[in-house]
């Protein structure tokens, strides 16, 4: 029996509540469409300049259908060109996430990358190696199609469909701006500098509603 406690007292809570930032990978942490465009030029055997970078979701502008459609390109990109291991990190992402992590925010990567049957190990290995190589801090990684099933206090996301689903479920989302989501309503961020500002603002509000957070943190 712990000193000062009595039989029948409620259990001691051993978990502390944290502010969780749910971070998407493709188009948010890494320049997915930029790298996919390079690989699509190889797949289609066309000059890269002939493929617009002003794409919408699913890249219908690249006329992939005659050669098997988006899924065929995606499979080729992941299995033959290490797509997830070769994305260019978005400018500023690593220092921003490190600062947010040091400030006490829990980084939770949420990605729908298990898209191709029977290539799960390849997709996961490329992903984790990329995160480590780029020094991106995180505590959790969730490979989930249904992002509403993964809890977070704030989500950073670029896919119009995921943003809509999250917002319909009552989740707070900052849209990471790119050509696929021009039509999606704010709040939006054009850079990781803007993400940092938006996250810090929301975190400060959250701390006001969770006054024990600092004490819990010190006890860890
Ligand atoms: Mg994305």
What's the mean pLDDT when you consider all of the chain? 90
CATH 3.40.50.1000 fits 2-31+87-219, yes or no: yes
Unique residue bearing structure tokens 């939770």: 108
Segment 66-97, tens digit of pLDDT: 999 999 999 999 999 999 999 999 999 999 99
102 neighbors 109 (Cβ within 8 angstroms): no
- For the four alpha carbons of 129, 100, 140 and 217, in that order, the dihedral sign comes to positive
* Distance between Cα 93 and ligand 1 center (Å): 15
User: Where are the alpha helices (H) located in the chain, listed in sequence order?
Assistant: 32-44, 69-81, 93-102, 120-133, 160-168, 192-209, 213-219
Segment 196-220, tens digit of pLDDT: 999 999 999 999 999 888 776 665 5
Give catalytic residue positions.
Answer: 24, 26
* Distance between Cα 181 and ligand 1 center (Å): 10
Binned at pLDDT 50, 70 and 90, residue 145 comes out as confident
* Distance between Cα 42 and ligand 1 center (Å): 23
Segment 111-127, tens digit of pLDDT: 998 877 778 888 999 99
* Distance between Cα 4 and ligand 1 center (Å): 50
- Which sequence spans correspond to the domains of the chain? 2-31+87-219, 32-85
Say if residue 2's pLDDT is above 50: no
Segment 49-64, tens digit of pLDDT: 999 999 999 999 999 9
Segment 12-45, tens digit of pLDDT: 433 458 999 999 999 999 999 999 999 999 999 9
Q: Quote the pLDDT of residue 8.
A: 54
* Distance between Cα 74 and ligand 1 center (Å): 14
């Amino acid at each position: 029996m712990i000193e000062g406690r009595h039989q029948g007292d409620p259990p001691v809570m051993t978990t502390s509540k944290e502010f969780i930032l749910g971070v998407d990978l493709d188009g948010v942490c890494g320049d997915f469409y930029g790298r996919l465009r390079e690989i699509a030029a190889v797949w289609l055997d066309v000059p890269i300049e002939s493929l617009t970078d002003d794409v919408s979701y699913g890249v219908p502008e690249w006329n992939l259908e005659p050669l098997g459609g988006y899924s065929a390109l995606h499979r080729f990109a992941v299995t033959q060109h290490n797509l997830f291991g070769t994305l260019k990190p978005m400018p500023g992402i690593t220092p921003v996430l490190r600062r947010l992590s040091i400030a006490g925010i829990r980084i939770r990567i949420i990605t729908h990358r298990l898209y191709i049957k029977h290539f799960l190990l390849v997709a996961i290995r490329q992903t984790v190696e990329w995160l480590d190589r780029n020094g991106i801090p995180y505590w959790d990684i969730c490979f989930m199609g249904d992002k509403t099933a993964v809890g977070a206090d704030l989500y950073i996301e670029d896919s119009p469909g995921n943003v809509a689903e999250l917002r319909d479920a009552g989740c707070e989302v900052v849209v990471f701006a790119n050509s696929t989501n021009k039509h999606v309503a704010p709040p939006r961020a054009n850079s990781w500098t803007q993400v940092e500002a938006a996250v810090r603002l929301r975190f400060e509000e959250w701390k006001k509603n969770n006054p024990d957070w600092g004490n819990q943190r010190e006890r860890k």
